[in-house]
Amino acid sequence: MEDFSVLIGGKAGDGINRAGFVIGRILSRMGYRIYMYYDYPSLIRGGHNFAIVRASRHTGIASHHFTVDCILALDQATLLRHAGRQTPATIAIFNSDSVKAGAPAAGLAVPLETITKEEDGISIMANSCLIGAFCRATGIPWDIAATVLGEEMPRETEKNLSIARRGFDAVQERYILPKREAPEVPLITGNEAISLGLLQAGLDAYVSYPMTPSSGILHFLAEVAGETRLKVIHPESEIAVILMAQGFAFAGSRTAVGTSGGGFCLMTEGVSMAGMTEVPVTIVVSQRPGPSTGVPTYTAQGDLAFVLSAGQGEFPRFVFAPADPAQAFEWAGRALNLSWKYQVPSFILVDKTLSEGTFSFDPEEPEWTGEDPIPCWDGTHPYRRYAESEGGVSPICHVPTAGAVVKVNSYAHDEDGITTEDRDLIARLVEKRMQKSPGMLAEVEALHPVGISGDPTASTAILCWGSTAGTCREVADIIGLRVVQPVVLSPFPARALRDALAGVSRIISVEDNAEGQLASLAGAHGIDISAQILRYDGRPHALEELRDRVLEVGA
C-alpha cells in the first residue's frame, strides 16, 4: 500500500489534535512520511473535531485523501458525519460506551470510558485506549506504540500505557501495515517551521497578540524563549504590536510579529510608518476566511491583494508565500535577513492549512540561511539616518551609539530625519526609498523565486501559491502536468515566472479565494490564465477533489 489514512474524531476538549499527532508519530516511527489535517470549529468545548492523518511511502506529501482506511470514533457524530469517507474496506473502531444506535456492524467496539475508569484514568485518557486499539487492528507492534506513547505522554505515563494496552488487547488484528526501513523524521507544523526559520536568522524579539491561525508561533516561541536570547512580548493589541516591534528594531533588535487578517487590519498604519521610517520589521500573516471575523479556524488565500498594498502611500516591501515547512523555514529566515538588508517591511504570507497542518520535516532538506550581517554606520560624522546612497539603502546605526544622533520620522523628512515640506526634499527622499526596488528584485531573482515541479516538459501548467502547491504537486504527478509556484510575490518575479512557463500553452490557476488574486497579479504582468479553480469554503482540497476539478477544466 502506497498510502494509509486514518481519521480520528470527537468533541472539542477530547484531545483530537493531540491524539492525531501521536498516531502520526507512531506511523512515522513505522517509516512513513506524514501529513495531518486538523479540522475544528471556533469553540472552547463542544462541536465536532477531527483529524485526518495520512501516512505515505512518498516524501513531500502535503495533502489528505477524502476517503480513509480507518475511522477512530470517540462519539456517534464521528461515524455519522464521515460516513461518506468510508469504503467497504474501511476499519471503524468506535467507543461502544457512547456509540449506540447506528453503529456499523463491521466495526470494532471498544468500551473506552469503561476501560479508562477501571484503570482510574481521566476521561481524556480514552484517547490512549483508542490509539492502542488502532495499533492492534492495523498490525502495529505494541513495542512501537508503547515507546511513542511514553515519549509523548511524560505525565501519567504508566497509567496511559495501561489504558492503551487494554485497548490493544480489546480488538483483533484486521490489517498489517508493513514497517518500512526509512528512518523516522520529526513532525512539525508550519507555524513551528516559521518560528525555527526566524530563530536561525537571528530573531531577537517576537511581538504578537494571539490570533488564530498564527497563534502557534507565539506559543512555540514563548516555550523556547528560555533556551535562547529571544524576547517574546504579548501586548494589549495589534496596534501596540506593530509599534512595539518598530521600537525594538530602532534599538537594533531583529523583530518579527504575527497575526491574521483582522489583526493585520489594525497594523496597517504602523506598516506604513515602517515604510516611511525605513525601520525593518518582519510580519507573519496567516490567512483565514474573511471578511471581518469570517470563520477563524478555517483556511483561505484571500489576503494577497491586501498584503501587497497595505498601508497608505508607496514604499517597497518583500512578500513571500511558502508552500510547506521546508519553504517556510527557508523563507522566514530570508524575510528577516532581507528586511534588515534593505530596511523595508517583509511579509511571510501563509494560511491555516500550512500554519496548523502537521508535516514530516527533514532538517537536511531546507537551505539554512543563518544571520546575514548588515551594513552599519562607519563612524563618519555627522551620522545621517537617511543619507542618500547608491541603491537607496542608508547605513544603519542604533541607539545608543556614542557620537551619533539617530532620528527616525514618519513625517516627510530630510536626510537627518528632520521634518520637511520642501518639495525638492520630499521628491528626493521618495526617490531614495524607491531606488531599493531594483536591488530587491535582483536579490530575489538570485534565490530561485519560482518553484517548478511535476513534469517540466508538460504544455499544461498549474499556477498556484502557498499551501495549495502541495496538493497541486501530487495532482500534477498523477496527471502529468507542470506545477509553477511563485514563492516571492513582491517584488514580483515576472521574468522568472515567464521562464518557468516557457513552452506552456495552457495555464490552470488554483487558489483558495473567490477572485483569483494570483491570476490577476500574473495578468497584470502579461501572463494570461486559461482556466481557474477557486475554492472559498474554508476547506483545503483533498487530493482526489482537486484531481477531478483539474480534469474537469480540461487538463
Which residues make beta-bridge pairs with 486? Answer: 450
Between CA 410 and CA 413 the distance in angstroms is: 8
Work out the percent of the chain whose per-residue pLDDT is above 90.
92
Residues 6+ apart with CB under 8 A from 402: none
How far apart are alpha carbons 353 and 287 in whole angstroms?
9
pLDDT band at 69 (very low <50, low <70, confident <90, very high): very high
Can you give the pLDDT at residue 117? 97
What mean pLDDT comes out for the span 121-137?
97
DSSP assignment of 105-116, as one string?
TTSEEE-HHHHH
Residue 505: count of CB within 10 angstroms of its CB: 10
Query: pLDDT of 322-360, one tens digit each?
Result: 999 999 999 999 999 999 999 999 999 999 999 999 999
Question: DSSP string spanning 410-425?
Answer: SS-B-TTS-B---HHH
pLDDT at 381: 80
- pLDDT average, residue stretch 418-429: 98
Residues near 387 by beta carbon (within 8 Å), at least 6 away in sequence: 394, 395, 415
Q: What is the pLDDT of residue 257?
A: 98
Give the tens place of pLDDT for each residue, 379-412: 888 999 999 999 999 999 999 999 999 999 999 9
Element (H, E) at 272: helix 261-277
* Whole-number pLDDT of residue 160: 96
Radius of gyration of the chain (CA): 25
Q: How far apart are CA 351 and CA 301, in angstroms?
A: 7
Tell me which H or E stretch contains 275: helix 261-277
- The pLDDT, as a whole number, for residue 1 is 67
* Residue range 442-497, pLDDT digits in tens: 999 999 999 999 999 999 999 999 999 999 999 999 999 999 999 999 999 999 99
The b/e string for 403-426 (b: 16+ C-beta within 10 A; e otherwise) is ebebbbbbebbbbebeebeeeeee
Query: Which stretches within 30-172 are classed as H helix?
Result: 76-81, 112-118, 126-137, 142-152, 157-170
Structure confidence by residue, pLDDT tens digits, 491-538: 999 999 999 999 999 999 999 999 999 999 999 999 999 999 999 999
Q: Is pLDDT of 17 > 80?
A: yes
Average pLDDT in the 164-170 region?
98
- Binned at pLDDT 50, 70 and 90, residue 102 comes out as low
Cα–Cα–Cα angle for 535, 540, 541, rounded to 5 degrees: 80
* Per-residue pLDDT at 365: 87
Residue 375 Ramachandran class (φ > 0 left, ψ -120 to 50 alpha, else beta): beta
Whole-prediction pTM: 0.96
Class of residue 183 by CB neighbours under 10 A (exposed 0-12, middle 13-18, buried 19+):
exposed
Q: Above 80 in pLDDT, residue 105?
A: no
Average pLDDT over residues 310-326: 98
Residues in a beta bridge with 286: 350
pLDDT at 15 over 60: yes
Residue 100 above 90 pLDDT?
no
441 grid coordinates: 528584485
Share the mean pLDDT of the chain: 95
Residue whose entry in the numeric block shows the C-alpha cell 528560555: 226
According to DSSP, residue 461 is labeled: E
Mind listing the pLDDT tens digit for each residue in 223-270?
999 998 899 999 999 999 999 999 999 999 999 999 999 999 999 999
At residue 38, the 3 state secondary structure works out as strand
Question: CB of 407 within 8 A of CB of 418?
Answer: yes
Provide the pLDDT for residue 338.
Answer: 98
Residue type for position 273: M
Residue 137, pLDDT above cutoff 90: yes
Contact in structure between 465 and 302 (CB atoms under 8 Å) = no
Question: What pLDDT does residue 373 have?
Answer: 86
Query: Model confidence at 364, in pLDDT bands (50, 70, 90)?
Result: confident
CB 206 within 8 A of CB 255: yes
Query: All 3 cell numbers of residue 80?
Result: 455519522
253 within 8 A of 282, measured Cβ to Cβ? no
